[in-house]
Amino acid sequence: MTIISFGSQAEKLGALHTFSPQTEERRKICSRMGNTKSSALSKELLEELKSNTKYSEAELCTWYQSFLKECPGGKITKEQFEGIYASFFPGADPTAYARHVFRSFDTNADGTLDFKEYIVALHLTSGGKTLQKLEWAFALYDVDGNGTISKNEIQEIVRSIFNMIPADDQTKLPEDENTPEKRAEKIWAFFGKKENDKITEGEFIQGVMDNKDILRLIQYDEPQRIKDKLKEKKQ
């Protein structure tokens, strides 16, 4: 199945932390962590993240150190998060989309991303299983978090995706999906719903798994120039 990139969130999240020490340094960091109380990752959280993500203890320790370096308060604010997005889309307006993505990662809804939420986000967007990614996509589209998706919510997210597509790229889109309204309509029609119906999580996941076209329509399709920019940032 196609990899769900949702605009390479992982790379944008990763861009927050350019710090990537070699293995030896990682080991040092981890051993040091046991001694410094303020920067130590609790054993419980470490175990939880180890069993729920693909990351090793050494990787988690490294991520945690760089996380604290960038966010001394131990939290990523919404403004910081929007700032990361803004730096990747100089010619467009990613604010609304960034806010929705932030909300979908802020699982305890306290308005910040702590280390756990950050790591789960990284895991989901880079190497998570398809089902986990689709559960996350459902959360992204369920704007009010009531457990179902309405047509308004589809329109809302699709609009925020369109804000990230430069005007000249929008003109190259197929006729029946070249406006947020048309694209939302196409998604809605695929699920066979009436105007005021709702899409449940099960229907959403099954539908997207069964149809690559819908998978494509619910995502932000990264233009080549953004991909190039990501490559530049990595170097």
Query: Which one of the spans 1-9, 25-33, 141-149, 222-230 is the region binding Ca ion (CB under 5 A)?
Result: 141-149
Q: Which residue from 18, 31, 108, 206 is in contact with Ca ion, where contact means CB under 5 A? A: 108
From the centroid of its chain, how far is CA 90?
Answer: 19
Q: What type of residue sits at position 162? A: F
Q: What is the dihedral of CA 157, 161, 167, 172, to 10 degrees?
A: -100
Q: 157 or 226, CB closer to Ca ion?
A: 157
Instruction: Dump the DSSP string for 158-192.
Output: HHHHHTTS-HHHHTTS-GGGSSHHHHHHHHHHHTT
Using CB under 5 A as the binding rule, the residues of this chain from 8 to 67 that contact Ca ion are: none
Candidates 13-21, 122-130, 138-146, 166-174: pick the segment binding Ca ion (CB under 5 A).
Answer: 138-146
Residue 55 identity? Y
- Figure out which of the listed residues 6, 9, 126, 142 binds Ca ion, where binding follows CB under 5 A: 142
Binding flag, residue 146, Ca ion (CB under 5 A): yes
- Does residue 106 bind Ca ion (CB under 5 A)? yes
Nearest to 159 by CA among 185, 184, 192: 184
By beta-carbon proximity to Ca ion, the closer residue of 92 and 158 is 158
Write down the least CB distance from residue 33 to Ca ion, Å.
22
